[in-house]
Structure 1
Amino acid sequence: MHFQARRTLHAALAAAVLAAGAAGAWLAQAQANKPPPAAVPPALDGIALAAPDAAAITTPSAANAWGGVRTGDHATLSDRVVGYRIEATLDPARHVVTGRQALTWRNRSAVPVRSVYVHLYMNAFEGEGSTFFTEMRQRGEGFRSGVGTEDGEWGHIAMRGVRQGAANVPWRFVQPDGGPSTDHTVARLDLPEAVQPGASTTLDIDFTTQLPRVIARTGYFGSFHLVAQWFPKIAVLELPGERGATSPRWNAHEFHMESEFYADFGSYDVSLTVPKGYTVGATGELQGKPLEKNGLLTHRYVQHDVHDFAWTADKRSAAPLVETWTGPGSPTVTVQVLFPPEYEASAKPAMKAAKDSLSWFSRTLGPYPYRTLTVVIPPYNATEAGGMEYPTFFTASGHATVEPNSLDEFLLEGVTIHEFGHGYFYGILASNEFEEPMLDEGLNEYWDNRMLRERGQQAHPMPPFLKRIGIDPAFDAFDIVRVGSPRDKPADAPGQNAWNRLQGIGPVYNRTALVMRDLEERIGREAIERGFKEYYRRWKFRHPSVADFREALADGSGQRAVVEEVFAAQMYAVARVDDRVSEIASEEVLPLAGTRLENGKRIEETRADLDKRIAKVRADWKKANPDAKEGRGPFPWRTQVTLRREGANVPQTLVVHFADGSSETVAWHANEKWRTFSWTKPARAVSAVLDPRRSHYLDVNKLDDSRTLDKDSRASRRWASDAMAFIQLLLSFIATV
């Protein structure tokens, strides 16, 4: 999901700054008023649930976790744990999906399983009593753009029957995270027959899904339907040695406002029946031509080695834009863009960004393994369905016009690249987005901003009329991320889970991206890329933890000590970074008044005589060096620069420039609050610059990283003149009204 590009850049920058400084005391108040959690009834087999406060794992997974590294010698890309055969029919007038599914699940554990858990995500939208709406109410804000739910626009999912063979399966709603009893997003099924170790069982489930008006990720608007998290989906049974587990446990969290999803890899065979005239797009490959019956078309899609399935249907869609892409190690990929007529201008830029992303991610991480990629641009008034990712299928953003170097172009391409990137970090690298969202949202934010940086792509937020008069500032991708990151008073470690966060989900994106960007500056581009490629190699089609990423990055980059230091300070914890140049002074080292021994005799040079001697030496030197620059002379200069550290210890570089064109460079990486460096040189100091390569984007304030010995008003004059020009422009417009 794309967090920041859901607004215009102007609003994003302002909102990000406010969020960074005052995310609110809502969490403390909510926790103070929160009733004690209801106990989850014990499972029939005694298998526990993941803890409600589970977050970043510190212990690496076992080598054989989820069947071990997928080397390419296996018969399938993933260790397929689950299979879904679903038949679903959409009633677009009532926005209802009626479905039947055969869910086949394999017990990988060494113990019999009697109770299984399924996610019923659509129940997050059944009413204000869900965990989703409870957290939204406690935070005092809507989801992303704040679209609300009106009467008659709620959604839900109802299981109308569950059978194991011929036996009915009883089930109950549970709240594994201690949410309100009115949250129905997780259900426990108590099986009549235990699933033995290594065996499989099939659950036949009839269900009905009422889609909500789209306010967050999924739902309808008019004839447009984005159908996601729409079927009963089994939770993940984690085994000892997997993501820190020491015994079998079910990972089944409620649908929180700012959490996303986690599921086993498997196979999907899904038949979608919709009225004729509706354009359909979905996860996976279409199997032949749709079959027509009674004015309805049935589209059958199949996809293996994924962990979710989403689809769209709309009778207003324009003719899809379809192209192909090929790359080393990947199959030929059919890429299609589905879009409404009002956003025709967005289709080709989205296609180009998607194909460029295929090339970039395949080259820098690993080959794209699927044969399809579908990009959906939601229509006007359904933008909350945009900026969301599913396997082989994602939603982007739509713009009526997409001019070169415009804000719309930056947002469209940025969101498209970001959502494609999720196909790797959320899709192929299948991390747990409930407990460790940084492995998807944070790493993806970092990697797609690297792609924007490589493309030389910048945001130009000014409207056209200001650009025409020369007011056209441009912002690099990482500069935008930096503005949105809480640097001064960070409250939540990037490794914290998705819902227990004082400053919300935003820092998972931007602070993680900055931590990784600063690590790249420290160990080098090639090292960071080796580390990420090793991460992809080890953990594709498995479920890594933060500890697994740390180990792959340390081994792949060859920089274990640095990686472990950064993870301890900025991933598992959060620390303010704030270094600055506190003082700079440079004074001539002149002869000193007093007495001295000369030829065994003590003599005294008076102050007047000393001043005369200094003046003569200066005059003689000036005569001999008529073209010497200011700051040079016959006497040496002692320069002192004091640095202050008001945050975490990070490796710093200080460069001091002198009037004769020389410079001195020193390193500072010590756990101390200040340090003074000094030099005695033939020339006076001109300036001192800390972090000259701008390696530390986490630093609170980059404006105090440098000082000049003499006052320099050029910057203030420049900003003042620009401000005055802008004010004069506004006054001239007002005068013409």
Structure 2
Amino acid sequence: MKFTISALSVLFFTGVFAQNIQNNPGSNHGNRFEQLGTILPTPNVYRTASGAPGQAYWQNRADYDIVAYLDEDKRNLKGSETVTYHNNSPDDLDYIWLQLDENQQSTVKKADYQFSSTLPKSLNDEQVKVSELPVKDNGYGVNLEKVTDASGNPLKYTVNKTMMRIDLPKVLKKGEKFIFKIDWNYNIPNRIKMGGRGGYENFAEDGNDLYTITQWFPRMCVYSDFEGWQNHQFTGRGEFALVFGNYKVSINVPADHVIGGTGECKNYEQVLSSEQLARYKKAQTSNEPVEIVTLDEAKKAEKNHSKQRKTWVFEAKDVRDFAWTASRKFVWDAMGVTIPENNNKVMAMSFYPKEAYGLYRKYSTKAVAHTIKTYSEFTIPYPYPVAQSVEASNGMEYPMICFNFGRTEKDGTYSEGVKNGMIGVIIHEVGHNFFPMIINSDERQWSWMDEGLNTFTEYLTEEKWDNKFPSKRGPAWTIVDYMKLPKDQLEPIMSNSENIIQFGPNAYAKPATGLNILRETIMGRELFDKAFKTYSKRWAFKHPEPADFFRTMEDASGEDLDWFWRGWFYGTDPVDISIDKVTVANPDFEVTASSTEEKYKVEKPLQNEFEDISKIRNKEDKTINFEVEKDKDLQDFYYRYDRGQEKVDTNKEYSLKSEPNAALDKKEQEKFKNINAYQIDFVNKGGLVMPIILEFTFEDGSKLRDRTSAQIWRHNEKKVSKTFYFDKKLKSIQLDPMRETADINTSNNFWNNDGGSSETSKFQVFKEKQKATVRGGANGKVNPMQAAGKKN
């Protein structure tokens, strides 16, 4: 169906800017190099000025025991959980908060963060629906059946959209724990039609579902030293803030389903056939992926829907969440991986339907292994026993398990874009085990702290997968189109997740690019890598905030990076540095052989001409004995001169002659005759300061490069000049030759010595005279003491 738009639409843009305090915003220097100061939170006993956790750092904990039942016919999930919440904070708690993320799928329980909507140009028949006012309940969202304490006594609770508050029967004090139980169920949504991270996908051709069960149980919110309860609503974008704990999860599913989940399965002997169990044990020591559930077995299972049931039992330690997947369609392969840094033995595994077999069988598990090994090099050694990739036609991450895409055409072929996209998303989602599953930042507030840091490390991992890998995020040149956008379409990286318009570039690409610029262009790989590992080690299994990252990167490297955080993370200015003008100068050996004469008068008394209020009061104060009055030996000629007791003619003129500059002899002139001086004037048109990187090409075809740090802009953030002296002539100058700085306009980055694009001048070269270099020494002029004929 088509709709004709008959009314004019007006689109308004409003800029969103993070606080970026400047001492002197009207100045053309200094602002971009100010310390972040009060922009960052004040260090304390919980978070230090170095960026490390403080001596009194604490975090709360939640342990879960969950029993789940998947009703495939009704597409309903039923669960019962026992939660043990540990209060390690110094505060007394009289209520606790939990997340009910599945309520976001409900028409009446969701957070209702809507977007502006306009008349469409066309709609399909399923999209044309009469607006329901008031909105009717679509039947999705969490149904709470029972909320009790450990003894079964009902607890008072309040549900606010996607959040749930439980009022405690008594105050929970420091060091105490509270055990409670929740029974619940919800209808599993069609993830393909309704969107979202979890749900089911139906394969009409064989009548089977593939389940990705995520954010599926009531989960504890974070209570922290920097925010208190993080109980912001879940809107579908900003992800999660979660506490660490231990999990035991029992999942009852149809007997022909294969399950992958967070942690280790503790009863493979009961749920796998003897052949499958033997293959699993073989895979543990195999260097190549071994099919535990084969393609033939998966195809056979698709045709027979078992009415029998099995329970799979998983356990996971020190994780912040639990997710799982189930389907009778799954092929399952695995291989053992050893992490060199800690000798950890890991099972790298993949689950995928036959539709993805042509890609996943070859690449997925090997990409998982490559990811956890490479991230371990750049961050911390992978600490968990399992790492899994599931092909589910999406991309989302959870501890030890993630969901990715990568299906072939029906004939088994695939495009290069699908292949590279699949490898990239597997690396990205598996990489999330480090950011934020272990280095546990608050995703709901600061998406860049997990997505940006992870995208950067993904880029490093892609580079080590294939030097020709077409990474879309990380290299500086790939962010240019985003940085070119009008300011009213941009937000600083330091913006809340829900308020970002260009979410991908802002939360993923720009932070990743910034870190890559720090590593390659500003800090260098050695300094950066050590600092990045320090941050990862400090905040593993803890809750870092932006200031902890900024401060650690500086603390561990000895680099002052406040100018970079201020510009790249708190601002929206782009990089656009231009070569404005080049002045070429040649030596001039002609020297005027005549002396110069300077006329001057002797100095008047240097004491203050005006008696200020402090001097007057000190003079009147009879308790003050001035040192020069007490000790007559301190009263020299100038003591008397300042008080008018010595008379000197200060109007008399004296002459000071200087020796003429000496010309260079022929041999010395020969040494310098080919020197050419080049003054290059740069203009900062974009506003964001960056290092100045130049490539010089000479007329003989040779090249040189020069790198000047960003600090050259500290005295003038708009214009700077730099002069070079070469013993051969320049043919051209290229600014940022490797496109390292994300300069949005490369058309003004080049100068060519074509005779008309530069000014020419001369600079005089003469023989250096001997000069007095003692600070405060004689300067050749007559002083008042000499004029008066006195020596004391």
Gaps of 5+ in 1: 1-23, 30-55, 72-77, 142-146, 175-183, 461-473, 600-633, 713-737
Go from structure 1 to structure 2 and tell me whether the alpha carbon gap of 1:129 and 1:137 turns closer, same or farther (over 3 Å shift): farther
| Structure-2 residue corresponding to 1:548 | 548
Q: Distance in 1 between matches of 2:400 and 2:501?
A: 33
| Structure-1 residue corresponding to 2:170 | 193
| Structure-1 residue corresponding to 2:328 | 315
- Return the offset for 1:63: 4.8
Q: Distance in 1 between matches of 2:577 and 2:375?
A: 35
- Return the offset for 1:694: 3.4
Q: Distance in 2 between matches of 1:207 and 1:644?
A: 63
Q: Distance in 2 between matches of 1:407 and 1:134?
A: 34
Q: Distance in 2 between matches of 1:86 and 1:679?
A: 70
Moved more, 344-353 or 496-505: 496-505
The 8 Å contact of residues 60 and 551 in structure 1, kept in 2 or not, is answered as no
Moved more, 219-228 or 147-156: 147-156
| Equivalent of residue 179 in structure 2, options 202, 213, 227 | 202
The 8 Å contact of residues 579 and 643 in structure 1, kept in 2 or not, is answered as yes
| Structure-2 residue corresponding to 1:486 | 483
Query: Is 1:257 paired with 2:212?
Result: no
Q: Which amino acid aligns with 1:123?
A: N
Partner-residue secondary structure (3-state), 2:741? coil
Go from structure 1 to structure 2 and tell me whether the alpha carbon gap of 1:102 and 1:505 turns closer, same or farther (over 3 Å shift): same
| Equivalent of residue 407 in structure 2, options 371, 384, 399 | 399
The 8 Å contact of residues 458 and 477 in structure 1, kept in 2 or not, is answered as no
- Return the offset for 1:113: 1.7
Q: Distance in 1 between matches of 2:53 and 2:694?
A: 46
Query: Is 1:567 paired with 2:565?
Result: yes
Q: Which amino acid aligns with 1:323?
A: M
Q: Distance in 2 between matches of 1:84 and 1:139?
A: 45
Q: Distance in 2 between matches of 1:123 and 1:336?
A: 31
Go from structure 1 to structure 2 and tell me whether the alpha carbon gap of 1:553 and 1:587 turns closer, same or farther (over 3 Å shift): closer
Partner-residue secondary structure (3-state), 2:358? helix
Q: Distance in 2 between matches of 1:429 and 1:193?
A: 33
Partner-residue secondary structure (3-state), 1:90? strand
Q: Deviations over 1:180-212 (max 9, x none)?
A: xxxx10121222233232211111101012221
Partner-residue secondary structure (3-state), 2:720? strand
Partner-residue secondary structure (3-state), 1:134? coil
Go from structure 1 to structure 2 and tell me whether the alpha carbon gap of 1:710 and 1:268 turns closer, same or farther (over 3 Å shift): same
Q: Distance in 1 between matches of 2:75 and 2:101?
A: 17
The 8 Å contact of residues 47 and 53 in structure 2, kept in 1 or not, is answered as no
| Structure-1 residue corresponding to 2:395 | 387
| Structure-2 residue corresponding to 1:522 | 522
Q: Distance in 2 between matches of 1:168 and 1:696?
A: 60
The 8 Å contact of residues 263 and 400 in structure 2, kept in 1 or not, is answered as yes
Query: Is 1:657 paired with 2:697?
Result: yes
- Return the offset for 1:674: 2.1
After superposition, where does 1:18-167 map in structure 2 within 5 Å? 25=12, 58-60=41-43, 62-63=45-46, 81-127=61-107, 130-131=110-111, 134-137=113-116, 155-164=140-149, 165-167=151-153
Go from structure 1 to structure 2 and tell me whether the alpha carbon gap of 1:396 and 1:583 turns closer, same or farther (over 3 Å shift): same
- Return the offset for 1:533: 1.0
Q: Deviations over 1:130-166 (max 9, x none)?
A: 33x533456999xxxxx98999986311111111233
Q: TM-score, normalising length from structure 1?
A: 0.71
Q: Deviations over 1:593-652 (max 9, x none)?
A: xxx9999xxxxxxxxxxxxxxxxxxxxxxxxxxxxxxxxxx9976645332112122221
Q: Distance in 2 between matches of 1:88 and 1:332?
A: 29
Q: Distance in 1 between matches of 2:684 and 2:338?
A: 50
Go from structure 1 to structure 2 and tell me whether the alpha carbon gap of 1:79 and 1:683 turns closer, same or farther (over 3 Å shift): closer
- Return the offset for 1:497: 1.9
The 8 Å contact of residues 580 and 682 in structure 2, kept in 1 or not, is answered as yes
The 8 Å contact of residues 117 and 187 in structure 1, kept in 2 or not, is answered as yes
The 8 Å contact of residues 108 and 137 in structure 2, kept in 1 or not, is answered as no
Q: Which amino acid aligns with 1:410?
A: N
Max Rg structure: 2
| Structure-1 residue corresponding to 2:769 | none
Go from structure 1 to structure 2 and tell me whether the alpha carbon gap of 1:364 and 1:140 turns closer, same or farther (over 3 Å shift): farther
Aligned length: 575
The 8 Å contact of residues 586 and 685 in structure 1, kept in 2 or not, is answered as no
| Structure-1 residue corresponding to 2:339 | 327
| Equivalent of residue 701 in structure 1, options 736, 745, 768 | 745
- Return the offset for 1:510: 0.7
Moved more, 353-362 or 109-118: 109-118
Go from structure 1 to structure 2 and tell me whether the alpha carbon gap of 1:573 and 1:355 turns closer, same or farther (over 3 Å shift): same
| Structure-2 residue corresponding to 1:626 | none
Q: Which amino acid aligns with 1:444?
A: N
The 8 Å contact of residues 489 and 576 in structure 1, kept in 2 or not, is answered as no
Q: Deviations over 1:312-336 (max 9, x none)?
A: 1112223x01111112214211121
Partner-residue secondary structure (3-state), 1:568? helix
Q: Which amino acid aligns with 2:378?
A: T
Go from structure 1 to structure 2 and tell me whether the alpha carbon gap of 1:210 and 1:476 turns closer, same or farther (over 3 Å shift): closer
Gaps of 5+ in 2: 1-10, 17-38, 121-125, 130-135, 203-208, 272-305, 595-672, 757-792
Q: Distance in 2 between matches of 1:523 and 1:306?
A: 33
Q: Which amino acid aligns with 2:692?
A: Q
Q: Distance in 2 between matches of 1:363 and 1:406?
A: 28
Q: Which amino acid aligns with 1:389?
A: E
Moved more, 539-548 or 156-165: 156-165
Q: Distance in 1 between matches of 2:535 and 2:128?
A: 41
| Structure-1 residue corresponding to 2:735 | 690
Q: Distance in 2 between matches of 1:64 and 1:237?
A: 15
- Return the offset for 1:413: 1.0
Go from structure 1 to structure 2 and tell me whether the alpha carbon gap of 1:340 and 1:484 turns closer, same or farther (over 3 Å shift): farther
Q: Distance in 2 between matches of 1:598 and 1:201?
A: 95
Partner-residue secondary structure (3-state), 1:262? coil
| Equivalent of residue 336 in structure 1, options 321, 324, 349 | 349
